[in-house]
Structure 1
Amino acid sequence: MSQSRALLALTLAATVLASSGCFLVAAGAGAGAAVAYNNRGATAQLPGGVIATFDKAVASFGRNGISETGRGTENSGTLRTLTGTKGDLEVTVEMKRKSDNVTAVEVVAKKNLVEYDRDFAKQVLEEMAK
């Protein structure tokens, strides 16, 4: 009986995630990181603090040919952003402290008001997860 309940719970969870536009893309893209698509780009929870994660974002921009256009820090450093451009894309990385050793990251690569390049966002995030 408990196996059928577990299967039902797993099925319901998968249905909710798939219908919300957020589904698993690459488990193990980095040490302990699972990269997932969302409606606008890619998300993951990366090991390390916000400052270390920000440094990884800067390095990823360099490796992916993104020209940095701005940086931001809010809430005493628990939320940081990095923005840049590559061709017609505007790339934004938002990093938010989840704990001392975990940072939630969202990468968005926007072409225009309604078009996003989710694959490029995933590529940037996977570089950060290395």
Structure 2
Amino acid sequence: MKVTTTVIRILLGGLMVFASIAYFFNLGNPEQPVGKMAVFMEGLVASQYLLPLVKGIELIAGLALLTGIFPRITPLILLPISLNIALVHLFLDPKNLAIAFFAFGANLYLILQQWSHYQSLLKVR
């Protein structure tokens, strides 16, 4: 179980680091979005702050996953990002759904591996 958790943590961390570095340094020729995805991306770009903020959080969290520091808080920080990645691809860009669901599923797996540490946060007084 520990080996599986380590492999998933490194794969998810690598994915997040790669995606953020590719964004910040304009690596590769990403396929131009079409249809509703293009409209969605135009809105994100027009905000001028949201994509750099999300990619910055992805970079920091990805590095934390790769190095293994803050193993309990990092999956929680990535949860809203990975959920949005999965939902955006589910509704707007289904051809990239596999990677999106991997990111979300890996994130959920890492949270479930630490679940005993979160239970005290969820207790009702």
Regarding TM over 0.5, the answer is no
The structure with the largest helix share of the pair is 2
TM-score, with structure 1 as normaliser: 0.28
Structure of greater relative contact order (alpha carbons < 8 Å, 6+ residues apart)? 2
TM-score, with structure 2 as normaliser: 0.28
The structure with the largest strand share of the pair is 1
